[in-house]
Structure 1
Amino acid sequence: MADYPPVHPPLRASMQVRGMDDIRALEQTPLHVVMPQRSTYELIHNSKAAFGDKTALTFLHTGDPAGPATSWTFDALFAKVTQYANVLHALGMGKDDVQGVLLPSCLEYQLGLWGASAAGIAQPLNPLLSEDKLVSLLQASGATVLLAWGDEAEAGYWSKAMRLRERVPGLRLVIRVAPPGETRAQRPVLPEGVHHLDALMAAQPDNRLVSGRRIAPEDVASYFHTGGTTGAPKLARHLHGGQVYTCWATVEVADFRASDVALNGSPQFHVAGTLAGGLPAIAAGVHQVIPTATLFRNPEVIRNYWRIIERFRITTSGGVPTVMAAVCQVPIGDTDISSLRFCRSGAAILPPELAARWERLTGHKVHETLGMTETSGVSTTTPLGIAGPAGSVGFRLPHMQMRLVEMDADGQATDRDAAPGQPGIVLYKAPNVFAGYLNPADTAKAFTHDGWLITGDIGWLDAQERLQLSGRAKDLIIRSGHNIDPKVIEDAVGAHPAVKFAAAVGAPDAYAGELPVVFVALHEGKPASPEELMDFAAARVDEPPARPKRVFIIDAMPMTNVGKIYKPELRAMAARATAQRIVDGLSDQFGVPQHARPGAACSEADGLSVMLNGTHSPAFEAALRAALAELPLKPQRVLRAA
């Protein structure tokens, strides 16, 4: 029987991509010729064969670049991934069985991802999700094994893991990862069905898969959960072949090099840290630096961002826009960042002022990338040396089909192609498009009738065929049938020197359906009034319907766990403010004193509610119900206190 995995050269760029002509040139060679690797396990094996004792991963224990760190070579990475796959096989896990991962961003995450997908299916979990949400995700996947962090740390990991074990009937085994520095004398005695990782690993060979499994490209590698923090779980099925394709295409277009050192501060439970950054770096022989278990959420890491670049001679760095905005507040001083050659951003549209600030500070343009869970992490990217305006997310990947279609009045995709240069909803067909959600009903909504993935992104193609991203279809503000791009408002308000972040959403309106409003977080020590920002925006937004009707100044933007501005919460805040204005107006009309006026509340999950008490007259209540009923908000409730 032939040796497994077969040895192929590691991934490397075959040319410097400068435009769509180069993308098309890459497509002249069939994909199976340039991408013979069949699984993520093969990618790791090829890098072990090519790079051996070269450092693959360095984990910083603290945000101090001179502090303690742990490193793995490519030899060690392959050996540990193989051992862990054998652990899971010995515990009875087959190729269709699922292992959940409840870890911070540590070195052992590599085992939970690539070792688990070599034995079965990996399910990365956001540890900051509620316990109920984690229960739902594990039940939906049918996970039987959980790899969990062995102390409480930031997210109460271990106690959460023990409660999940009780609440998820199918979860029969928990494997405990010891935190750094724990001695054998300190380790706890574990109950039946719970095991120490290192003890299990020591009993397994590290040079071959004991199962004898030959992983196929069409085998499921991972289940990644999508969406925010509310609603039913949506688990996306990733195939080995799709993840390998993302690696190959990313290395080709983004020019990953074995000489690179990358600062990877994106969460490992998210495709940005795992598939857009992590696995391509492993496959190309890049040294990755992981800045502590909490990554860029660690204030010490942000304070030392430039020093980390200097200490490790980082060549590739960046972050989501919120991280880049925080880093831009940190003086570089005499820190040597001359090693930098490539700065990347993704996950959200980069505000133009932030892009310009980063370039002034570092001397480097920001190269934006677009990706999503449903495209295994990457769909378009901006190559090194290509300059574009903020919001330009670059070229489609080789061997990918991209189509832009018109939207209907509700912002939904139609069958009509958008005219050249006009915005449309982005659709894809590609080798890395996911194999659907676990729930078939969710899958049906994600694709057109003829098999195109509906991304929900809105963009247009420029003369160079670069995708210029506007935003998300669900974020469109629809005022009296007029589609308003929130990015137009956000760019206008964000140009004000006092503005740190600006996010525009639609506030419900009885006449227009929605009216544009904007939420603003200011730089510390730089005051601005709502009126000043309204005037500033009005002078810079050409279309009168798109000029914001209100500006709300807030202390901090609501964020997701991966650093995106969380617009559903802003929409709920806008709806609450609208309802409160109605309440206050009727209170004036009916003579309700200030202290007795009811308060409006609104949340994404529960909708709008107003609580009345015994002092409010039936006439006031009837008028309030009638006024609120005209708002396009469901559900809504007017309640009387008991």
Structure 2
Amino acid sequence: MSAAPFRASFPIRSLDDIRKLEAAPLAEALTVRSTYEIFRNSGAAFGDKTALTFLRTGDPADAPIRWSYAQLLAGIHQTANLLHRLGVGPDDAVAVLLPGCLDYHLALWGGEAAGIVQPLNPLLTDEKLVALMTAGRAKVLIAYGSDAESGMWSKAMRLRGQVPTLTTVLRVAPHDEAPGSAGDLPDGVADFGALRAAEPDDRLASGRDIAPGDIAAYFHTGGTTGAPKLARHSHGAQVFTAWASVNMTGQGPNDASINGYPLFHVAGVLPASLASLSAGVEVIIPTTALLRNKQVLANYWRLVEKYRPTSLSAVPTVLAALANVPLDGADISSINYCRTGAAVLAPELAARFERLFGLHVHESLGMTEMAGISTITPPGVVGPAGCVGFRLPYSQLRVVKLDADGNASDRDLPAGAQGMVLFKSPNLFSGFVDPADNAKAFTADGWLATGDLGWLDGDGRLNLSGRSKDLIIRSGHNIDPKVIEDALGAHPAVQLCAAVGAPDAYAGELPVVFATLIPGASASEAELLEFAAARVDEAPAKPRSVIVIESMPMTNVGKIYKPELRAMAARRVAEAMVGEACTELGLDAAARPLVEVDGDNALKVRIDAAAAGVQAEPLRQQLQQALGRLPFKTQVILQ
């Protein structure tokens, strides 16, 4: 068994440096076989050094809770041994329903040492959580013993009787709960902390020898609309993500980072946690609510001044929020590396961040299907917004032309030409739990079809423009929404913006833009439309309208949620058509139908027959005919 933590061989600044690293066979360069081995090595190397720092509140004056590397390893041993005693084996799943907390790391890494960990998004409906746990055959659920965060405990109690394979729920006490205050727990529910404390903390009682091909985790993809899919990660894939991240970024035991990503998401678990902890970095957890905590955001720069993190990592929407938080004299000189991912960075936001804080934002690309990381822009490498850096060592990257259906073809494109991004890599996932989901994930010759659109520059760096599914298709013309977003995002009053296709009976889709404004700023929709249109050269791509909204819909990870924006755009179109039909029939506002658009682009118009009177049926027929021309499943219902 290897005994050394991960450390960078030398700084990576170019593709030639990556090739130099690849001179040795991967089997020689990386000998660690499992995530458990990572924590054995880190525990031995760093001992009493702080591994995890949990902030109880967003107030910099409050004392945090700290765990050393030795304490973390001991807790991982205890957790794995507890799960083993509860009957969890290498093929059994341990579901996790927790907020940001120290115990999450015990559930993650102890769960992987005993079986297969299955982190869950607490904002999913009960129905989807039950489906995920049933598909993963979860045997144990580790859940937060409070409803303070997303109603987790009540949700866990409801799930308990609906998952056939579930035998035990382990209750994690909130850090501020008084001992013994939880009271008696129901049958099949036990206290995680009390049971864990009774287990050996210096070894795996199972004696398990974990192989690189053993499945470590099930991560669900999407799930906000439609059925989420369970992606299988092997130990080897997760270990490679940690090793490659450390080599690409150079992080080590003198570094610290604030990890504000949710720990049910690959970004928070793998590049932000496992990679850091494999190299002796101190990982700071900013309260149970993470960066959704308004106090944490308001005090972010003061927290940086106190805890001296050397890197800042956040999704673009969080960076936009931080750009509104004044430094007020806070010393943030400890930060030497700022990075983002999950969504393409707007050029204006990148420029604003650098102007305000002196921090260049380095972009990376990560995805669930590649164990959290695919490309990295290393420290010292400066690229334009949208440049997500170099491929990982020992990985392969292609950009291919789209076929007529918008899918990947087998035709490679030269540098500078935009197409779909494909990967092969040691951290490629082991396929979905449901084999039927694999068909669209891979090309016929085994490349991962990412759905990302981009191009390679002369230095071999990948530059992203967006997602193939986000393309706006106007009369057969593919419009890249990033062109519109970059144009409007340059307006000084705009905080965030996102372009989507609004349905049109003739063109199929027309580009529209939703925008939020910087607090205190003002601009009319007409002014913003004129500003954006003047900066979009291609006539079909000029937006038809700009809609200012109070807040941008977000996923729980902090990405702009475009399906909701598309539904909002469709509703506006349908409501306009309904208004025209009502006007023609002389109906007043009280008689106008209710328009609904769901996440599957199904349009429903409900007519109150009593309010519409004798004109209800003519109105229904007129609307069915008019709305039927839109690219939607349309239903006009007479009630």
TM-score range, shorter chain: over 0.9
Q: Return the match for 1:422 from 405, 417, 424.
A: 417
Secondary structure of the residue aligned to 2:570 is helix
Q: Is the 8 A contact 2:223 2:229 kept in 1?
A: no
Moved more, 444-453 or 622-631: 622-631
Distance 1:447 1:260 in 2: 37
For the Cα contact (< 8 Å) 2:415–2:458, is it kept in 1?
Answer: no
Equivalent residues in 2 for 1:194-233 (5 A)? Answer: 194-233=189-228
1:622 is the counterpart of 2:617: no
Counterparts of 1:189 and 1:68, CA distance in 2 = 31
Q: 1:535 aligned to 530, 536, 539, which one?
A: 530
Partners of 2:354 and 2:502 lie apart in 1 by 35
Q: Note if 1:246 corresponds to 2:244.
A: no
1:492-534 deviations in Å (ceiling 9; x for gaps)? 0111111111100011111111111101111222111111111
Matched, 1:562 2:557: yes
Could you tell me which runs of 5 or more consecutive residues in structure 2 were left unpaired when the two chains were aligned.
none
Select 1:588's aligned residue among 578, 583, 587. Answer: 583
Tell me the CA shift for residue 621 of structure 1. Answer: 2.6
Alignment partner of 1:632 is 2:627: no
Residues 116 and 217 of structure 2 are in contact (CA less than 8 Å); yes or no, is this contact kept in structure 1?
yes
- Residue 359 of structure 1 corresponds to 354
Q: Is the CA contact (8 Å cut-off) linking 1:328 and 1:361 kept in structure 2?
A: yes
**Structure 1, 288-297 or 254-263: larger mean CA deviation:** 254-263
Deviation at 1:606, TM superposition (A): 6.6
Q: Tell me if 1:432 matches 2:463.
A: no
> Quick check: 1:140–1:233 contact (8 Å CA) kept in 2?
no
Q: Which amino acid aligns with 1:238?
A: H
Structure 1 ranges of 4+ moved more than 4 A = none
Please give the alpha-carbon distance, in whole angstroms, between the structure 1 residues aligned to 2:26 and 2:188: 44
The range that moved more, 186-195 or 383-392, is: 186-195
Residue identity in the other structure for 1:610: V
Partner of residue 302 from structure 1, selected from 285, 292, 297: 297
Aligned-residue offset at 1:157:
1.6
Mapping of 1:73-472 within 5 angstroms? 73-472=68-467
- Conservation of the 8 A alpha-carbon contact between 1:216 and 1:240: yes
Shift of 1:418: 2.4
- Give the drift of 1:573: 0.7
Output the amino acid matched with 1:560.
Answer: T
Q: Partner amino acid for 1:545? A: P
Q: Secondary structure at the match of 1:446?
A: coil
1:154 CA drift (Å): 1.8
1:7–1:45 Cα contact (<8 Å) kept: no
Distance 2:125 2:622 in 1: 39
Q: Under a length normalisation based on structure 1, what TM-score does the superposition of the two structures give?
A: 0.97
1:315-368 Cα shifts (integer Å, max 9, x gaps): 111311111111111111211111110111111111111111111122120011
Contact 1:406–1:418 (8 Å) recurs in 2 = yes
Residue identity matched to 2:418: P
Query: Number of paired residues?
Result: 635
Separation of aligned partners in 2, 1:606 and 1:504 = 17
> Shift in Å at residue 424 of structure 1?
0.6
Query: Paired residue for 1:481, among 476, 500, 520?
Result: 476
Report the CA distance between 1:40 and its aligned residue: 0.3
Q: Is the Cα contact below 8 Å between 1:411 and 1:476 reproduced in 2?
A: no
| Separation in structure 1 between the aligned mates of residue 473 and residue 66 of structure 2, nearest angstrom | 51
Aligned residue for 2:52?
A: 57
The superposition leaves residues 44-84 of structure 1 with CA deviations (integer Å, 9 ceiling, x where unpaired) of: 11111111110010000101122131111111111110111
Aligned partner letter, 1:626: Q
> Which residue in 2 is equivalent to 1:3?
none
CA distance in 1, matches of 2:577, 2:193: 62
Distance 1:486 1:199 in 2: 53
Shift of 1:449: 0.9
What SS class does the counterpart of residue 161 from structure 2 fall into? Answer: helix
Distance 1:225 1:21 in 2: 35
Q: Which runs of 5+ in 1 are unaligned?
A: 1-5
Amino acid paired to 1:639: I
Partner of 1:494: 489
Whether contact under 8 Å (2:2, 2:31) holds in the other structure is no
Structure 2 residue 22 is matched with structure 1 residue 39: no
Amino acid at match of 2:318: V
